[in-house]
Amino acid sequence: MSDDKVFDARELRQVLGSFVTGVTVITTVDAQGKPHGLTVNSFSSVSLDPPLVLWSQSLTAPSHPVFRDAERFVVNILADDQVAISNQFARGKDDKFAGMATDQGIGGVPLIRGSAAYLECRRMDCFRGGDHMVFLGQVERIERTGRQPLVFGGGRYLVAQPHDLGALLTESGPNIARLQAVRLATRAVVELSDEIDETLGLGVWGNQGPTIVRWEESTQPVSDNLRTGLVLPVLTSATGLAFAAWLPRELTAPFIDAELTQDAQGNFLPHPERLPERLSHIRSQGFVRLVGIDDFTELYGRSISALSVPVFDPDGAMVLALTAIGATDRLDTSDSGKVLVGMRRCADTLTQRLRGSAAPGNP
Ligand SMILES: Cc1cc2nc3c(=O)[nH]c(=O)nc-3n(C[C@H](O)[C@H](O)[C@H](O)COP(=O)(O)O)c2cc1C
């Protein structure tokens, strides 16, 4: 072992996990005609002419002797609705094909139905690379089904989305800033939710008011009622109050006025005359805290509390509300609690990244 090796296996795995891949199941048949398969993300293209691909298998995988001796294999590139299949083939089980819909490819090697694409290969070569065997295959038949591929990165399954910013990244304007903010924040809330284990929502100001575009659930979900596209009230939701506090009054006024009119119909709302003072207080403390929101008891099935912090674009306009919600008896809404501290840090980082996203050297 080299003296230069200053990282451990866990760190190496995490670094390698930064390289996002698709997910494949490599299948073959043994001499008795029994099908075998395993989930693999070490698949890679090698050459177009001749058409060559590779993948590598742990020498300790129980199915290794079968693949080592097999003449053929099929690369089934999984579709984004095949997470269960990926998990099934990642377990050391004998009956991985039980209940699996397959078709027979060249040499009787199974093709897993519903995959995004297939490469039927003849094994050309294999050579040892440390604790893995690298298999080189010549591609003999291919098929693409048009299904969206499953993605794997950072140790979790992902779905692919087109990078809609593309050339627009050089442009400026509120919509671009908002797209960029949602994109950055989507990633950030996954990490924050892992850290603080609370349900987090991302709210934008849509044409119907405060609208949740993304939920990241904690391990103890608040409710199964957390829909993307949920439109929230301005005055009685933490997300809504954040927008009311930081967006220009002319944007929020029609919504606030409509909600105040409803007040006459019996709903509890803050006193309109106290609203400016309330919003000014929110701005000075930098976040919204609502403890025990009765309005949502029906929606969520219990009393909930919420915290919301703003994210700003480079011009200082609020683009996003980062909101945590949880059962009132569980969510820590205190000033120095890890939820609020983590959320404020996350929102500040997002604001800074939006400000500096065009600068070179930004991660
Ligand atoms: C997303 C994902 C990617 C994987 N990639 C590989 C890989 O490239 N090579 C490998 O040997 N095992 C890989 N594995 C692990 C194997 O799928 C797992 O060890 C499987 O049980 C091996 O099959 P076997 O027990 O039938 O031999 C991966 C697992 C997952 C979930």
Per residue in 74-132, pLDDT tens? Answer: 999 999 999 999 999 999 888 899 999 999 999 999 999 999 999 999 999 999 999 99
| Ligand 1 atom, smallest distance to 58 CA | 11
* Structure confidence at residue 47 as a pLDDT band (50, 70, 90): very high
**Amino acid letter, residue 349:** T
Mutate to test the pocket of ligand 1, among 19, 34, 36, 41 (most ligand atoms within 8 A of CB): 41
* Weakest mean pLDDT among 38-52, 211-225, 233-247, 282-296: 211-225
Check residue 267 and give its pLDDT.
54
Q: Which residues, 6+ apart, have CB-to-CB distance to 77 below 8 Å?
A: 22, 23, 24, 43, 115, 116, 117, 118, 119, 149
User: Is this structure's pTM higher than 0.85?
Assistant: no
Residues in the chain: 363
Residues 232, 233, 234, 235, Cα dihedral to 10°: -140
Q: Is the CB of 62 under 6 A from ligand 1?
A: yes
Check residue 218 and give its pLDDT.
80
pLDDT winner (highest mean) among 198-202, 269-273, 300-304? 198-202
Q: Is the CB of 90 under 6 A from ligand 1?
A: yes
Burial class from Cβ neighbours inside 10 Å (0-12, 13-18, 19+) for residue 19 reads: exposed
**Average pLDDT of the chain to the nearest whole number:** 88
The more confidently predicted of residues 328 and 299 is: 328
Mutate to test the pocket of ligand 1, among 39, 43, 73, 91 (most ligand atoms within 8 A of CB): 39
pLDDT score of 170 more than 60: no
What are the residue ranges of CATH 3.30.450.40 in the chain?
165-356
Check residue 306 and give its pLDDT.
94
CATH class assigned to 165-356: alpha beta
Q: Name the residue at shortest CA distance from atom 5 of ligand 1.
A: 40
- The CA R_g of the chain, rounded to the nearest whole Å, is 26
* Alpha-carbon span 110 to 34, nearest angstrom: 10
In 3D, which of 15, 315, 346 has the Cα closest to residue 187? 346
With residue 185 as reference, give the H or E element that holds it.
helix 174-196
The residue written with tokens 């080299």 in the block is 2
DSSP assignment of 241-307: HHHHHHS-HHHHHHHHHHHHHHHTTT-----GGGHHHHHHHHHHHTSEEEEEEGGGHHHHSS-EEEE
CA 184-226-80 angle, 5° bins: 60
**Amino acid letter, residue 192:** L
Check residue 163 and give its pLDDT.
56
Edge-to-edge strand list for the sheet holding 288-293: 209-216, 199-206, 318-327, 304-312, 288-293
Cα(40) to ligand 1 centroid in Å equals 5
Beta-carbon-side half-sphere exposure of residue 218 (alpha carbons within 13 Å): 19
Cα(74) to ligand 1 centroid in Å equals 15
> For the chain, first and last CA: distance in Å?
32
Which region, left, alpha or beta, applies to residue 297 given φ > 0 means left and ψ of -120 to 50 means alpha?
alpha
The b-or-e profile of 41-74 (16+ CB within 10 A means b, else e) is bbbeeeeeeeebbbbbbeeeeebeebbeebebbb
Average pLDDT, integer, range 228-247 = 93
* Structure confidence at residue 190 as a pLDDT band (50, 70, 90): confident
Q: Is the CB of 40 under 6 A from ligand 1?
A: yes
Answer positive or negative: Cα dihedral of 258, 262, 263, 267. negative
The residue written with tokens 């001749």 in the block is 50
Q: CATH for 9-153?
A: 2.30.110.10
* Structure confidence at residue 361 as a pLDDT band (50, 70, 90): very low
What are the residue ranges of CATH 2.30.110.10 in the chain?
9-153
Cα(142) to ligand 1 centroid in Å equals 23
DSSP 8-state class, residue 96:
T
Q: Which two tokens mark 58?
A: 């742990």
Q: Is the CB of 54 under 6 A from ligand 1?
A: no
Average pLDDT, integer, range 33-59 = 98
* Alpha-carbon span 72 to 353, nearest angstrom: 49
